């Protein structure tokens, strides 16, 4: 059932903070304006507040799903006005904290121990508060400095109501519009539901954190803090306290002598390493979750927290994505068209020549600009919009990756406006492709499978014997089937022969009766010739 109370609250917040000002009054949105105008009794917010402040406050009031949308917008100063993005940046770690229950009570409920049994000290006020949880500083009994993350009470109910609304809108969009069929919004909402509900389980986040740390354990580019499993549950996570600079604090980064160009390029390199080498990427890389180490100014090191949302790709999607990016970078539009058809992103009956021409029309004007001025995020949006008339579908498995790429590019542009994402990414992709096709790499994959084959080796004789038995059984069954078919064929031919004989006899009797009328007159069979003749013709020509 549609949660009308939640829908009414959303409309009330939109009206209260005058968010209808963001919607152009055209034919497609006229009904929205009329609906909001009917809510005349709702008091509007302070007229003196800016658009950005009103939007941020509205998103905070609506809850986690809307806050996350605002976090993504805050990193895209190339998409929205700078003053609005500045306000939205506060959504990254400055969301109003919850007041009930008290933090000590919440921890005791989650861990089954009083806080004083675990911590030497625990700050009652959070130092960071985000959409789903808030974080408190603490010191363990052994003296380790930690942070304690606590999920907001009652947040799951609000999220489920919003997901239900999104599903309703997605079904409406998908069933009533052509773009909806192409966007596949129902699948996207289902994927997002799984992601955000998983984010509420801090044990899952802790496991992701450990995995990400293990992946970069030998790399100086990214540090992931330690998790304290003894003090972690579904609603509380305890991990190492970090001492880093927020990645969007440009002034402090410069004061510490951090090379911003190198830092931005390192961020891009980390992204591609996660996607194409580890196939396990941090998918919520907004500035509130990324810090920079203070002690590595010449070779910048990122610090990543909040690993609740991670993404993986299938091997096919991973390979096709890399080959598509390489083809775009190299302006090989025929290859891009072929790959889209090959991997099923557009229908197989697509006119490849027309599709190739369309891609070229979109990309060539962009590539005439200096590479540093090209927004990869904008290019992807334009490509998708243009390919829409070829029935190109959104791949739900890539939506998370696309969102992460938008985050990374937005973050990189904040650090170093002249960031050349293409120049940074192209050598990496070329290297990845060369390694993929390297005979030694292929041999390495072959060698990786050898232990599996050896492990299965004792089973091979039994499998071989079973295969022979099955083959023998199959031959026997085939022979029996052939015999059965041959027997049926013989029976059918015998019956046909008998019918023909009876038919000939019937026709013969009919002829005799016609030639000797006295015979059927004596036997009182006046219709005899006709009956025997019809029977004979039927048996000879019609009965099979």
Pairing status of strand 302-304 against strand 222-223: parallel
Could you give the CA distance from residue 304 to residue 147 in angstroms, rounded to a whole number? 14
Give the tens place of pLDDT for each residue, 329-381: 788 889 888 888 887 777 888 888 888 888 888 888 777 666 566 677 667 66
Residue reference for tokens 């080498």 = 277
Residue 93 is among the residues annotated as catalytic for this protein: no
Round the average pLDDT of the chain to a whole number and report it. 76
Q: Is residue 525 pLDDT above 70, yes or no? A: no
- Tell which residue, 421, 417, 410, has the closest CA to residue 287: 410
pLDDT given for residue 96 in this prediction: 74
Residue 215: pLDDT band (50, 70, 90) is very high
Question: Tens digit of pLDDT for each residue in 251-291?
Answer: 999 988 898 888 988 888 898 889 888 889 998 887 888 99
pLDDT reading at 89 higher than 80: no
Average pLDDT over residues 26-46: 52
pLDDT of residue 26: 43
Please pick, among 93, 162, 284, 306, the residue that the annotation labels catalytic: 284
pLDDT at 503 over 70: no
* Cβ-contact 503, 538 below 8 angstroms: yes
Alpha carbons within 13 angstroms on the beta-carbon side of residue 530 total: 3
Q: 469 to each of 73, 341, 457, 473, how far by Cα in Å?
A: 65, 43, 19, 6
Give the CA-trace dihedral at 109, 113, 117, 122, to 10 degrees. -20
Residue with tokens 């690993």, as numbered in its chain: 307
Rounded Cα–Cα distance for residues 40 and 17 (Å): 13
Question: For residue 529, what pLDDT band results from cuts at 50, 70 and 90?
Answer: low
Which tops the pLDDT comparison, 304 or 402? Answer: 304
Domain boundaries, the chain: 4-91, 246-455, 459-542
> Contact, 42 vs 16, CB < 8 A?
yes
CB 122 within 8 A of CB 103: yes
d(CA 119, CA 17): 42
User: Nearest-5° angle of CA 254, CA 259, CA 263?
Assistant: 110
pLDDT of residue 13: 79
Give the model's pLDDT for residue 30: 46
Separation CA 54–CA 52 (nearest Å): 5
Least confident of 3-7, 28-32, 195-199, 247-251: 28-32
pLDDT of 238 > 60? The answer is yes
DSSP symbols for 182-222: HH-HHHHHHHHHHHHHHHT-HHHHHHHHHHHHHHTTT-SSE
pLDDT above 70 (res 103): yes
Kindly tell me if the per-residue pLDDT of 506 is higher than 50. yes
Tell me the C-alpha distance between 252 and 236, whole Å.
31
Closest CA to 240 of 150, 307, 146, 148: 146
> In this structure, are strands 244-246 and 222-223 parallel, antiparallel, or unpaired?
unpaired
Q: Answer yes or no: is pLDDT of 520 > 60.
A: no
Structure tokens at 498: 């008998």
- Residue 27 pLDDT more than 50? no
Query: What is the per-residue pLDDT across 444-461, written as a single tens digit (0 to 9) for each?
Result: 555 556 666 566 556 556
The dihedral sign for the CA sequence 22, 26, 29, 30 = positive
> By the 8 A CB rule, do 200 and 132 touch?
yes
The per-residue pLDDT for range 74-83, each reduced to its tens digit, is: 765 555 677 7
Highest mean pLDDT among 43-47, 229-233, 269-273, 478-482: 229-233
Taking the C-alpha atoms of residue 129 and residue 214, their distance in angstroms, rounded to an integer, is: 27
The mean per-residue pLDDT over the stretch 390-413 comes to: 72
Give the integer Cα–Cα distance in Å for 269 and 299.
Answer: 13
Q: What is the pLDDT of residue 114?
A: 92
Give me the residues paired with residue 485 across strands.
none
Residue 406 has pLDDT above 90, yes or no: no
Sign (positive or negative) of CA dihedral 304, 59, 183, 408: negative
Element (H, E) at 433: helix 421-437
Among 299-313, 380-394, 523-537, the range with the most confident prediction by mean pLDDT is 299-313
Buried b (16+ CB within 10 A) or exposed e, 81-113: eeebbebbbbbbbebebbeeeebeebbbebbee
Lowest mean pLDDT among 24-33, 168-177, 473-482, 495-504: 24-33
The answer to whether residues 528 and 513 touch, using CB atoms and an 8 Å cutoff, is: yes
How far does the chain reach from its first CA to its final CA, in angstroms? Answer: 62
Cβ pair 30, 3 in contact under 8 A: no
Q: Is the pTM of this model over 0.85?
A: no
């Amino acid at each position: 059932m549609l949660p009308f109370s939640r829908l009414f609250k959303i409309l009330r917040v939109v009206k209260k903070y005058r968010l209808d000002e963001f919607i152009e009054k055209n034919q497609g949105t006229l009904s929205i304006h009329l609906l909001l105008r009917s809510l005349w009794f709702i008091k509007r917010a302070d007229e003196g507040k800016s658009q950005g402040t009103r939007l941020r406050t509205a998103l905070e009031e609506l809850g986690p799903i809307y806050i996350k949308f605002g976090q993504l917008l805050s990193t895209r100063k190339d998409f929205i006005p700078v003053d609005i993005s500045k306000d939205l940046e506060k959504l990254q770690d400055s969301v109003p904290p919850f007041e009930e229950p008290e933090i000590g009570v919440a921890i005791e409920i989650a861990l089954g121990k009083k806080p004083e049994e675990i911590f030497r000290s625990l700050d009652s006020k959070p130092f960071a508060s985000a959409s789903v949880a808030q974080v408190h500083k603490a010191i363990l009994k052994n003296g380790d400095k930690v942070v304690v993350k606590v999920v907001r009470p009652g947040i799951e109910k609000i999220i489920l109501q919003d997901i239900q609304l999104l599903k309703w809108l997605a079904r409406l969009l998908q069933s009533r519009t052509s773009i909806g069929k192409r966007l596949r919004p129902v699948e996207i909402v289902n994927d997002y539901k799984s992601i955000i509900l998983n984010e509420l389980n801090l044990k899952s986040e802790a496991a992701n954190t450990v995995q990400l740390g293990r992946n970069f354990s030998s790399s100086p580019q990214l540090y992931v803090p330690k998790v304290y499993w003894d003090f972690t549950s579904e609603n509380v996570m305890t991990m190492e306290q970090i001492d880093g600079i927020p990645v969007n604090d440009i002034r402090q980064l410069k004061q510490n002598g951090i090379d911003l160009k190198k830092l931005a390029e390192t961020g891009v390199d980390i992204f591609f390493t996660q996607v194409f080498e580890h196939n396990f990427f941090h998918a919520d890389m907004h500035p509130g979750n990324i810090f920079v180490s203070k002690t590595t100014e010449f070779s910048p090191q990122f610090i990543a927290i909040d690993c609740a949302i991670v993404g993986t790709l299938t091997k096919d999607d991973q390979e096709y994505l890399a080959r598509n990016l390489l083809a775009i970078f190299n302006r090989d539009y025929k290859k891009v068209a072929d790959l889209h058809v090959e991997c099923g992103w557009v229908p197989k009956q697509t006119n490849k020549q027309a599709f190739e021409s369309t891609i070229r029309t979109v990309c060539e004007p962009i590539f005439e600009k200096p590479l540093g001025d090209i927004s990869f995020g904008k290019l992807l949006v334009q490509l998708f919009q243009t390919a829409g008339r070829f029935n190109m579908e959104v791949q739900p498995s890539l939506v998370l990756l696309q969102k992460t790429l938008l985050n990374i590019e937005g973050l990189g542009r904040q650090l170093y406006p002249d960031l050349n994402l293409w120049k940074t990414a192209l050598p990496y992709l070329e290297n990845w492709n060369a390694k993929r096709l390297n005979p030694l790499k292929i041999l390495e994959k072959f060698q990786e499978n050898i232990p599996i084959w050896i492990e299965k080796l004792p089973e091979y004789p039994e499998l071989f014997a079973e295969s022979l038995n099955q083959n023998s059984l199959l031959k026997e069954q085939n022979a029996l089937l052939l015999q059965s078919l041959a027997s049926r064929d013989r029976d059918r031919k015998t019956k046909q022969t008998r019918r023909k004989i009876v038919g000939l006899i019937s026709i013969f009797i009919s002829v005799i009766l016609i030639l000797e009328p006295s015979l059927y007159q004596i036997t009182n069979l006046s219709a005899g010739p006709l009956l025997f003749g019809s029977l004979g013709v039927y048996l000879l020509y019609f009965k099979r």
